[in-house]
């Protein structure tokens, strides 16, 4: 219990304390926030070690009623779906803070305040089990991220920040309406206990929501998440935000913020609106596949390294969405592991691009060439991240992409090979844009005088990169450690949805959730019980 | 003493202060501090008295009907005044608004070189008017309250009488306000003609029992809505608001656009409760005709709300003057609050209570900051004047950012909860489309609220604003910031009470 609270509130506490530091003591502020984020990581390890991965239900569940009149509560808990993402968040945060030491050179106090606040909100998004609380954390992310892009970003930062804010807010507001509608419908028509946003309560009866309402609610949530993911064609904010944000900002955006969208799709869309998920699954999967190909093709023609990596995110997140809407255990697990992978490899690519930028102050591919000769260690790290991102077997990216494609291939819901066949081209294109970029930047002749005297990695930069590489290799070679954590929760979820569609699930031994009887009957019953107005 | 008499105290204090401030004004000579502190005492006493009433045991149990007055009082007042219940809360809202404004007033007037003592008497009188509105249970008292509030407002908006912008605002406000009052009185007369009573609870009973003339009632409600729409500055009677709020002294705009608007919405609640009753189980069954009237006017109000939100926000989008932008956004906020009237149930009304509390804090806070940054003769009011504010005035910029985020309805600030409660009330009562319009309006509003933050934080300018002397206004800014955050974190402090009020 305590460890969960610590993981959530330590960053908040830290950010509040930073407000009281003097503006001039930048060194103190830097090391203090690093210490806080490391402590948070240590606290989260206690959750991980006490986490029972054979239990598909929520663990460490805590409930405190917050606003009784609307039954909004401070309800938090962790299951197999969120465990890995929480770990990813607290793992990436100290790394970004360490990377900020060199990337952020003005207004440090505000910056570290913002970044710790961001960490608080990100952990909150993944562990909240109340729709209202979830929405608050979801929105809370917007404020620090907006400032991080807007104050510390590069030239076009204002445009990017405002675009990011308005895009995300558009989705969020749709979600807000859906949350209230859902809470009101479930509270008054099904449970008859009054308005509620309790996730667990709503989940139990979610398949009693009539199809037409469910469909609207599904899209209300989904559009919000698709914007965050981002799914083609809602991705246009991403290249701008990624490119203009400072390096640590891009890392957090890519590694964690995008995952919130896909996490939301699993947690809310699949779990709360299973019938609609089945109905619209194939449509969404097509958009995911288009996103995979589109993102890859656009990446090929980019001349700015950072923009290239940004567009590659569109492609990679497409795999995740495809895995999710395959609604198979393997596809979902692939999606979750792919989220972690993308967080690690794309995050690392952004870090590396940032390091290069700090040395040369340009991100144009044409400015470089033959960097491998002056910066051999840097090039090696870049190579690892690049291959991980391209999905080379033995590194993490391969595991995730393979599993999502396999999931889509075997899915009884999508029921077509076309998704996998088209999606697999994305892997090939990924190799094209990444390898071509790598070749242009690192090989060839080093004929630009500005590149002659570039320094190789410093100790701090080593410290930033090595932990990521360890996990890239670990997931690549022995993914079972990680897949094991999410295994039972995903299977239970898949079971539930399969039972709704086919009457039985693939994992009968996990059938723990007792589903209410045939939806139409139950609705009629609840209607009869209602007092006639 | 009868405990029910206790509830009479706030109204008594306000009346006494309003009557005696002009007298003190006369006898205090050139000493301007005395009257300032008298007014301060007025607001503080009202706050203390109401907080004391809130702590009374009646509020612990929701079942006690606290709307009943004692025998003596009901004889004396002929049931024309409501004591306790929601009135306590609105008294608090008005008093807090007055207090926050008061802290900003002095240095503003001194800077404009126009600190005349009447200002404080006028403030006390308009404050008394608002309290009368909240306490009224009779159309006459309601009208009396509205006029006692409005007339000092006409004067206050033209207070600095050597400034053309002030005179223009005052004249516009007065002419249009007088017009709206006409509608209001005419509507009241129609309702009196239809039901034969001025007592709102009696009118309510008669409507429930089908003892009314349908056509007169419908016309009466329509005219009342027109009159109140003007006071609340909702579409299409909002045209005066931006001009008046921009032209009037900034501190006056702060008071008018928050407390004045809240008062207009209490009037709306009181009227809606009585004359457009819903088919609530506790109140009995409505007849076909009155149910039709209710539904008809709810539709009209919903359309008004939708247009108010959209028009307010879209026009605010075009503004380059911060004061004018806030003025237009205040129109839009009236639209959000209107959703509570459309919902026409206890959730909607308690939503309005919460929204009004949040709105008072954030809007006054924002206006006070504008008044601090502004220079003589309406200088430094443009958006571009705020460029780089965060460099030299980090506190002001951070507070302004919080107010803007709260006005935009971003959690965890109070404005978000206000919107949440109102959206909830609207969806609950079947107005999903109105909520979606509200969402679109909110989205539009984001652009200019965020735009101000862009100017303050992301842009720089060559001739930067020097450090602003905050002085006494510091107190209002700090109270507002703390209030906005506190209500955001613990909204149930208000909601727990508000839910009881309309049970």
- The ranges assigned to domains in chain A are 2-527
Q: What distance in Å separates residue B196's CA from the closest CA in chain A?
A: 31
* Closest among A516, A509, A312 to A429, alpha carbons compared: A312
pLDDT at B51 over 90: no
Give the residue on A whose Cα is nearest the Cα of B411: A136
- B439:A176 CB<8 A: yes
Average pLDDT value for residue range B333-351: 89
* Closest among B428, B67, B375, B139 to B250, alpha carbons compared: B375
Q: Cα(A143)–Cα(B404) distance, rounded to whole angstroms? A: 12
- A161:B454 CB<8 A: yes
pLDDT of residue A526: 43
- Judging contacts by C-beta atoms under 8 Å, the chain A residues touching residue B495 are 67, 69-70
What three-state secondary structure class fits B375? strand
Interface test with A, best of B345, B404, B410, B418 (most A CBs within 10 A): B410
- Judging contacts by C-beta atoms under 8 Å, the chain A residues touching residue B429 are none
The number of beta carbons lying within 10 Å of the beta carbon of residue A318 is 29
Q: Cα(A363)–Cα(A348) distance, rounded to whole angstroms? A: 16
Looking up tokens 């990436």 gives A92
Higher pLDDT: B72 or B8? It is B8
Least confident of A91-100, A104-113, A240-249, A443-452: A443-452
pLDDT of residue B464: 62
Give the residue on A whose Cα is nearest the Cα of B451: A162
pLDDT of residue B150: 92
pLDDT tens sequence across B277-298? 776 545 556 677 777 888 888 8
Given A139, A142, A166, which is nearest B447 (Cβ)? A166
pLDDT of residue B74: 59
- B436:A70 CB<8 A: no
Model confidence at B462, pLDDT cuts 50, 70, 90, reads low
Please report how the helices A480-502 and A274-300 are oriented relative to each other, as an axis angle in degrees rounded to 10.
130
CB-based contacts of A349, cutoff 8 Å, min separation 6 = A309, A382, A385, A386, A389
How does the average pLDDT of chain A come out, rounded? 85
Q: What distance in Å separates residue B85's CA from the closest CA in chain A?
A: 18
| Interface contact A165, partner B, CB < 8 A | yes
The alpha-carbon radius of gyration of chain B (Å, integer) is 22
B395-416: b or e for each residue (b if 16 or more CB lie within 10 Å)?
Answer: bbbbbbbbbbbbbbbbbbbbbb
pLDDT tens sequence across A380-400? 888 899 888 888 888 888 888
Q: Cα(A461)–Cα(A99) distance, rounded to whole angstroms? A: 8
Given A140, A173, A183, which is nearest B443 (Cβ)? A173
Looking up tokens 């792919």 gives A338
Residue A481 preceded by cis peptide, ω within 30: no
Given A69, A158, A165, which is nearest B499 (Cβ)? A69
Distance of CA B168 to CAs A118, A138, A280, B171, B242, Å?
Answer: 48, 46, 59, 5, 12
Alpha helices in A375-448 (DSSP H): 376-390, 396-410, 418-442
pLDDT at A123 over 70: yes
CB-based contacts of B262, cutoff 8 Å, min separation 6 = B90, B93, B94, B97, B130, B356, B359, B360
pLDDT of residue A121: 92
The tokens describing B167, both together, are 């005179």
- Judging contacts by C-beta atoms under 8 Å, the chain B residues touching residue A166 are 443, 446-447, 450
Q: Cα(B425)–Cα(A180) distance, rounded to whole angstroms? A: 9
Give the residue on B whose Cα is nearest the Cα of A196: B424
Average pLDDT value for residue range B144-157: 92
pLDDT of residue B64: 38
Higher pLDDT: B464 or B184? It is B184
- Judging contacts by C-beta atoms under 8 Å, the chain B residues touching residue A177 are 423, 427, 432, 435-436, 439
Q: How does DSSP assign A170-230, residue by residue?
A: HHHHHHHHHHHHHHHHIIIIIS-S----BHHHHHHHGGGS-HHHHHHHHHHHHHHHHHHTT
pLDDT > 90 in chain A, percent: 12
Model confidence at B359, pLDDT cuts 50, 70, 90, reads very high
HEC string of B461-495 equals CCCCCCCCCCCCHHHHHHHHHHHHHHHHHCCHHHH
Given A66, A150, A174, which is nearest B457 (Cβ)? A150
HEC string of B18-79 equals HHHHHHHHHHCCCCHHHHHHHHHHHHHHHHHHHHHHHCCHHHCCCCCCCCCCCHHHHHHHCC
pLDDT of residue B57: 66
* Closest among B411, B100, B354, B381 to B402, alpha carbons compared: B411
Residues 111-150 of A with CB under 8 A from B: 132, 135-136, 139-140, 142-143, 146-147, 150
pLDDT tens sequence across A173-201? 889 999 998 888 888 888 778 888 888 88
pLDDT of residue B77: 65
Q: Cα(A292)–Cα(A420) distance, rounded to whole angstroms? A: 11
- B427:A177 CB<8 A: yes
Alpha carbon A433 to chain centroid, angstroms: 23
Least confident of A516-525, B35-44, B185-194, B424-433: A516-525
Residue extents of the structural domains in chain B: 3-501
Average pLDDT value for residue range A299-307: 89
Average pLDDT value for residue range A44-67: 84
pLDDT of residue B62: 40
Backbone dihedral region for residue A391 (phi beyond 0: left; psi -120 to 50: alpha; all else: beta): left
Q: Cα(A39)–Cα(A283) distance, rounded to whole angstroms? A: 43
H or E stretch including B315? helix B288-317
Cα–Cα–Cα angle for A506, A511, A516, rounded to 5 degrees: 115
The tokens describing A290, both together, are 């288009």
Q: Write A234-239 long-range contacts (CB < 8 A, 24+).
A: A234/A167, A235/A291, A235/A295, A235/A314, A236/A163, A236/A167, A237/A160, A237/A163, A237/A164, A237/A167, A237/A168, A238/A310, A238/A313, A238/A314, A239/A307, A239/A310, A239/A311
- B496:A174 CB<8 A: no
The tokens describing B72, both together, are 């003596």
- As a residue count, chain B comes to 503
For the purposes of burial, counting CB atoms within 10 Å of the CB of B143, is it exposed (0-12), middle (13-18) or buried (19 or more)?
buried
Q: Are B487 and B480 in contact (CB under 8 A)?
A: no
Q: Are A164 and A171 in contact (CB under 8 A)?
A: no
CB-based contacts of B478, cutoff 8 Å, min separation 6 = none
Strands of B295-436, DSSP E: none
Q: What distance in Å separates residue A134's CA from the closest CA in chain B?
A: 11
pLDDT of residue B207: 83
Q: What distance in Å separates residue B445's CA from the closest CA in chain A?
A: 10
A59 phi/psi in degrees, rounded to 5: -115, 165
Q: Are B166 and B248 in contact (CB under 8 A)?
A: yes
| Interface contact A162, partner B, CB < 8 A | yes
Give the residue on A whose Cα is nearest the Cα of B488: A136
pLDDT of residue A378: 86
pLDDT tens sequence across A420-431? 888 888 888 888
pLDDT tens sequence across A320-367? 999 999 888 888 989 999 999 999 999 999 999 888 888 888 888 888
Q: Cα(B395)–Cα(A77) distance, rounded to whole angstroms? A: 37
Distance of CA A463 to CAs A99, A459, A467, B382, B402, Å?
Answer: 10, 6, 7, 48, 37
- B495:A69 CB<8 A: yes
Least confident of A55-64, B53-62, B289-298, B429-438: B53-62
Give the residue on B whose Cα is nearest the Cα of A194: B428
CB-based contacts of B482, cutoff 8 Å, min separation 6 = none
pLDDT at A518 over 60: no
Pairing mode of beta strands A72-78, A59-67: antiparallel
* Closest among B153, B271, B249 to B204, alpha carbons compared: B271
Interface test with B, best of A15, A22, A64, A70 (most B CBs within 10 A): A70
Interface test with B, best of A21, A132, A173, A237 (most B CBs within 10 A): A173
| Interface contact A66, partner B, CB < 8 A | yes
What three-state secondary structure class fits B81? strand
How does the average pLDDT of chain B come out, rounded? 85
Cα dihedral angle (B327, B333, B335, B337), rounded to 10 degrees?
-140
H or E stretch including A280? helix A274-300
Higher pLDDT: B274 or B96? It is B96
Q: What distance in Å separates residue A470's CA from the closest CA in chain B?
A: 38
The number of beta carbons lying within 10 Å of the beta carbon of residue A54 is 8
pLDDT of residue B60: 47
What three-state secondary structure class fits B82? coil
Given A142, A143, A150, which is nearest B454 (Cβ)? A150
* Closest among A59, A40, A42, A63 to A51, alpha carbons compared: A59
H or E stretch including B142? helix B139-157
pLDDT of residue B75: 59
Higher pLDDT: B343 or A509? It is B343
Q: How does DSSP assign A132-175, residue by residue?
A: HHHHHHHHHTHHHHHHHHHHHS-TTHHHHHHHHHHHHHHHHHHH
pLDDT at A293 over 50: yes
């Amino acid at each position: 219990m305590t460890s969960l609270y610590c993981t959530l509130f330590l960053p908040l506490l830290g950010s509040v304390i930073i407000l009281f530091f003097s503006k001039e003591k930048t060194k103190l502020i830097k090391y203090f926030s690093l210490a806080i984020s490391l402590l948070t990581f240590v606290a989260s390890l206690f959750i991980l070690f006490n986490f029972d991965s054979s239990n598909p239900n929520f663990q460490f569940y805590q409930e405190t009623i917050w606003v009784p009149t609307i039954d909004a509560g401070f309800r938090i808990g962790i299951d197999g779906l969120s465990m890995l993402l929480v770990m990813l968040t607290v793992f990436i945060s100290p790394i970004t803070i360490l990377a900020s030491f060199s990337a952020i050179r003005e207004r440090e106090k505000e910056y570290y305040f913002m970044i710790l606040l961001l960490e608080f909100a990100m952990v909150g998004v993944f562990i909240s089990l109340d729709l209202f609380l979830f929405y608050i954390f979801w929105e809370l992310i917007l404020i620090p991220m907006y400032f991080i892009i807007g104050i510390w970003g590069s030239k076009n930062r204002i445009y990017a920040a405002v675009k990011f804010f308005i895009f995300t807010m558009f989705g969020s507001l749709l979600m807000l309406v859906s949350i209230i509608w859902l809470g009101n419908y479930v509270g008054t028509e099904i449970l008859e206990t009054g308005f509620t946003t309790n996730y667990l309560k709503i989940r139990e009866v979610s398949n009693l929501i009539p199809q037409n309402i469910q469909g609207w609610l599904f899209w209300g949530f989904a559009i919000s998440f698709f914007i965050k993911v981002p799914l083609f064609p809602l991705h246009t904010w991403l290249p701008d935000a990624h490119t203009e944000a400072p390096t640590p900002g891009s890392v957090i955006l890519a590694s964690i913020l995008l995952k919130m969208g896909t996490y939301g799709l699993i947690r809310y869309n699949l779990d709360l609106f299973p019938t609609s998920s089945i109905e619209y699954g194939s449509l969404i999967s097509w958009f995911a596949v288009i996103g995979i190909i589109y993102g890859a093709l656009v990446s090929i023609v980019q001349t700015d390294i950072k923009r290239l990596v940004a567009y590659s995110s569109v492609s990679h997140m497409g795999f995740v969405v495809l895995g999710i809407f395959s609604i198979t255990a393997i596809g979902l697990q692939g999606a979750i592991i792919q989220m972690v992978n993308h967080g690690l490899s794309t995050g690392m690519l952004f870090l590396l691009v940032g390091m290069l930028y700090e040395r040369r102050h340009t991100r144009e591919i044409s400015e470089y060439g033959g960097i491998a000769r002056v910066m051999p260690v840097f090039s090696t790290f870049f190579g690892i991240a690049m291959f991980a991102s391209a999905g080379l077997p033995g590194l993490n990216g391969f595991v995730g992409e393979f599993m999502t494609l396999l999931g889509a291939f075997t899915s009884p819901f999508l029921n077509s090979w076309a998704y996998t066949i088209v999606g697999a081209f994305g892997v090939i294109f990924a190799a094209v844009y990444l390898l071509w970029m790598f070749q242009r930047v690192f090989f060839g002749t080093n004929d630009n005088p500005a590149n002659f005297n570039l320094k190789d990695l410093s100790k701090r930069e080593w410290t930033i990169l090595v932990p990521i590489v360890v996990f890239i290799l670990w997931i690549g070679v022995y993914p079972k450690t990680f897949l094991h954590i999410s295994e039972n929760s995903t299977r239970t979820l898949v079971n539930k949805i399969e039972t709704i569609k086919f009457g039985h699930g693939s994992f009968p031994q996990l059938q723990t959730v007792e589903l209410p009887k045939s939806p139409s009957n139950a609705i009629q019953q609840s209607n009869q019980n209602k007092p006639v107005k | 003493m009868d405990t029910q008499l206790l509830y009479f105290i706030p109204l008594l204090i306000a009346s006494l202060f309003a009557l005696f401030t002009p007298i003190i004004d006369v006898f205090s000579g050139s000493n301007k501090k005395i009257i300032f502190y008298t007014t301060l005492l007025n607001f503080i006493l009202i706050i203390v008295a109401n907080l004391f009433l809130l702590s009374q045991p009646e509020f612990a149990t929701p079942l006690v009907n606290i709307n009943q007055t004692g025998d003596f009082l009901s004889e004396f007042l002929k049931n024309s005044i409501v004591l306790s219940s929601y009135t306590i809360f609105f008294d608090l809202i008005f008093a807090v608004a007055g207090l926050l404004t008061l802290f900003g007033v002095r240095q503003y007037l001194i800077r404009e070189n126009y600190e005349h003592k009447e200002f404080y008497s006028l403030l006390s009188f308009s404050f008394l008017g608002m309290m009368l509105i909240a306490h009224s249970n009779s159309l006459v008292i309601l009208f009396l309250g509205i006029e006692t509030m409005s007339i000092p407002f006409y004067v206050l908006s033209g207070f600095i009488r050597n400034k053309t912008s002030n005179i223009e605002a005052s004249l516009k406000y007065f002419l249009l306000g007088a017009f709206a009052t006409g509608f209001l009185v005419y509507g009241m007369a129609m309702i009196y003609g239809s039901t034969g009573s001025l007592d709102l609870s009696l009118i309510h009973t008669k409507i429930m029992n089908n003892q009314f003339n349908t056509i007169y009632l419908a016309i009466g409600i329509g005219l009342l809505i027109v009159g109140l729409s003007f006071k609340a500055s909702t579409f299409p009677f909002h045209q005066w608001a931006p001009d008046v709020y921009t032209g009037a002294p900034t501190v006056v705009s702060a008071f008018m656009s928050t407390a004045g608007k809240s008062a207009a919405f209490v009037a709306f609640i009181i009227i809606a409760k009585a004359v457009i009753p819903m088919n609530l189980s506790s109140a009995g069954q409505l007849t076909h005709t009155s149910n039709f009237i209710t539904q008809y006017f709810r539709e009209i109000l919903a359309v008004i709300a939708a247009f108010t939100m959209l028009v307010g926000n879209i026009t605010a989008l075009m503004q380059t003057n911060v004061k004018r932008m806030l003025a237009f956004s205040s129109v839009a906020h009236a639209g959000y609050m209107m959703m509570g009237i459309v919902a026409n149930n206890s959730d909607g009304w308690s939503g309005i209570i919460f929204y009004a509390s949040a709105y008072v804090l954030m809007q006054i806070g924002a206006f006070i900051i504008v008044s601090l940054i502004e220079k003589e003769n309406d200088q430094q009011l443009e958006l571009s004047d705020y460029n780089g504010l965060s460099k030299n005035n980090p506190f002001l910029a951070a507070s302004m950012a919080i107010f803007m985020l709260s006005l935009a309805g971003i959690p965890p600030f109070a404005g978000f909860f206000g919107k949440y409660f109102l959206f909830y009330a609207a969806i609950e009562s079947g107005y999903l489309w109105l909520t979606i319009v509200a969402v679109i309006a909110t989205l539009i509003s984001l652009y200019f609220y965020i735009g101000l933050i862009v100017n303050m934080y992301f842009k720089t300018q060559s001739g930067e604003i020097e450090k602003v002397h905050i002085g006494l206004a510091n107190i209002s800014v700090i109270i507002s910031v703390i209030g906005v955050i506190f209500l955001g974190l613990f909204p149930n402090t208000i909601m727990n009470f508000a839910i009881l009020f309309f049970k």
